[in-house]
Amino acid sequence: MDKQQIKHLVAIQRAYFNTGNTLPVPKRILALKKLKAAILHYQPQIEIALQKDLGKSAFESYMCEIGMTLSEIDYMLKHIHPAKIVKKSQNTKG
């Protein structure tokens, strides 16, 4: 991707974010599950990129990058229950 394509992609992503569509918990859960599936699907390519760019072995790539990210996704999925999310206006007084 060149610089112009990246700017265009970021603009599209910001516009989507600004619609508020990322706020509902079910959509967050779906996005996290899709991200996890994509990481698992593209793990070999991610490992190759980390080796080329940073000189990391497949083991180091998993332990320091891929595995950590998957663990964080699992943590978020476990703790994102809709009943646990409190709107800021409900949590503040005054």
pLDDT in tens, 80-92: 876 556 555 455 5
Q: Quick one: pLDDT at residue 45?
A: 97
Q: Where are the domains of the chain?
A: 24-91
| Rounded (10°) angle between helices 43-54 and 25-41 | 70
Question: How many angstroms separate the Cα of 55 from the Cα of each of 39, 63, 77, 82?
Answer: 19, 14, 31, 41
Q: What is the H or E stretch that residue 1 is in? A: none
Please give the single-letter amino acid code of residue 12.
I
Please give the single-letter amino acid code of residue 67.
G
**What does the DSSP assignment read for 77-92?**
HHH--GGG---HHHH-
Q: Quick one: pLDDT at residue 63?
A: 96
Of residues 65, 66, 47, 67, the one with CA closest to residue 57: 47
The pTM of the full predicted model, rounded to 2 decimals, is 0.71
Contact 36, 70 (CB under 8 A): yes
